Amino acid sequence: MKCILMNKNKEILLAEYDSATGAFTQIVDVYDINYAPYILKSFYDKDDTNNNLFRTNLSNWFKGRGIPSWRDKLDLLLHRLNISAPSLLLDKAFGLSLSDQYWIKPYDLDVCYDDINFFDNDFDFTEFMEASLSKNSNRIIKENSLKTPNNTTDGMLKKAWIIDDGKRYLLKGGYKNELLQPFNEVLASEICRRLGFNHVEYTLDTYKDIVVSKCPCFITKDTELVTSYQIINDMKRHDNKEDYEEYISKLENFGIKNAREKIENMYILDYLIMNEDRHLNNFGLIRDVNTLKWLDVAPIFDNGQSLNIEYYDERELHTSFEGRLFYEVKPFDEIIKVVKDLKRIDLTKLDGIVEWFYELLHKYQSITHMSDKRIHLLCVLLNRQIKKIKKIQEKG
């Protein structure tokens, strides 16, 4: 299929696309590389007539928009969607997403972005939500229900975009039989709210027999999320703290105000909740797609993989004690050292949050069946991290 890669109504390039594999087989012409996904610019060479490297990375970028092979209970989801592979979903709705404005326009089709984008136009979400989140559904969803931004959701957790009172929200469940992730998201929001960190607000909701987290879409039809993975693609890799410092410098060069402080806030949160999964695709920057101006650090989001108690005995809690700092897996006590001025944070605002979390976990206990002992130990772990960071602040 011959198609045009679009950014809203801006034509980026003309290419041949294979729906079966989700890959671009030939680059026919490049119209304006400046409006392409940020990660692709470093692979583009206008003097390379074959464009093989660029084409390969274009395909990798587009496939990366889809549901990954490691999505929890993917086989069940594919069965309910009546398809054999996630790649078959990519062009069901022009490849549209609620994280950016890129889409593929069939060459001979007369259609414009305003008529099809999911920021302005409603979409059917009830069937996909059941296929993705329900434990026991046997329903096979209809073909027209696949015209949805749910085709382009990454990550391992079961999730679904919905429309509630005209606004777009993302629902996320827990991983396999683990039920804690939605509660961690809400805990992270409460910590950020108290400490004044810019963040995506998560709340709890129930869908049938499970607890899910619910957050609003923080991208508009005029902005896009550019992940840190894309931004550091053209940086030299050091595998140490130099990556972090170079990233901060790059943000400052983009004109991002208080870039260091905003990134530090994210790592302060990660320390407090022991977030193990701050990978390079769950933080980044917001860019204006019309002017290509870099606007700000993205609000803190995706904090579910936290407070992981591997096991416990009568005397001790056993946890991994490790998180991520760019390419490195490091102890949290090392990662927190990137914060240059911890004294700027009023940690007394966290007073009472352990009790708040205890009540929240108990409120949904009839659904989660989380034991009293586990709830107690989770609160012990949170309390321990708060005390530790207060000691670090005092020594500062």
Secondary structure percentages of the chain, helix, strand, coil, to 5: 40, 20, 40
Confidence of residue 21 (pLDDT cuts 50, 70, 90): confident
What is the average pLDDT score of the chain? 91
pLDDT digits (tens, 9 = 90+) for 111-169: 999 999 999 999 988 888 888 888 776 666 676 668 899 888 888 888 999 999 999 99
First to last CA, the chain: 60
Is the Cα torsion angle 13, 17, 23, 24 positive or negative in sign?
A: negative
**Residue 269 contacts residue 303 (beta carbons within 8 Å):** yes
Q: What is the pLDDT of residue 109?
A: 94
pLDDT digits (tens, 9 = 90+) for 330-339: 999 999 999 9
Q: Which residues contact 380 (CB under 8 A, 6 or more apart)?
A: 317
Q: Can you tell me the mean pLDDT for 256-262?
A: 97
146, two tokens: 């696949």
Distances in Å between the Cα of 350 and the Cα atoms of 187, 329, 346, 379 are 11, 27, 8, 13
pTM (2 decimals)?
Answer: 0.93
Q: What is the pLDDT of residue 316?
A: 66
Asked if the model's pLDDT at residue 50 lies above 80, the reply is no
Distances in Å between the Cα of 88 and the Cα atoms of 28, 67, 91, 123, 138 are 23, 10, 7, 19, 21
pLDDT digits (tens, 9 = 90+) for 210-229: 899 999 999 999 999 999 99
Q: What is the pLDDT of residue 180?
A: 93
Of 97-111, 163-177, 209-223, 281-295, the range with the lowest mean pLDDT is 163-177
Domain residue spans in the chain?
Answer: 2-172, 223-395
Structural fold of domain 223-395 = 1.10.1070
Closest CA to 390 of 355, 340, 349: 349
pLDDT digits (tens, 9 = 90+) for 345-388: 999 999 999 999 999 999 999 999 999 999 999 999 999 999 99
Strand partners, 5: 13, 104
Asked if the model's pLDDT at residue 42 lies above 70, the reply is yes
Q: What is the pLDDT of residue 303?
A: 96
pLDDT digits (tens, 9 = 90+) for 52-67: 899 999 999 999 998 8
Q: What is the pLDDT of residue 200?
A: 98
pLDDT digits (tens, 9 = 90+) for 307-323: 987 766 656 677 878 99
The angle at the Cα of 212, spanning 207 to 218, to the nearest 5 degrees, equals: 115
Which is more confidently placed, 174 or 4?
A: 4
Give the separation between CA 310 and CA 321, rounded to whole angstroms.
10
Q: What is the pLDDT of residue 366?
A: 93
DSSP string for 363-394: HTHHHH---HHHHHHHHHHHHHHHHHHHHHHH
pLDDT digits (tens, 9 = 90+) for 191-202: 999 999 999 999
Which is more confidently placed, 176 or 73?
A: 73
193, two tokens: 């709210």
Helices marked H in the chain — which ranges? 38-41, 52-63, 74-81, 113-116, 126-133, 181-195, 228-231, 241-253, 259-273, 332-335, 353-363, 365-368, 372-395
Asked if the model's pLDDT at residue 47 lies above 90, the reply is no
Q: What is the pLDDT of residue 314?
A: 59
pLDDT digits (tens, 9 = 90+) for 228-256: 999 998 888 877 778 999 999 999 999 99
For a pLDDT cut of 70, what percent of the chain falls above it? 95
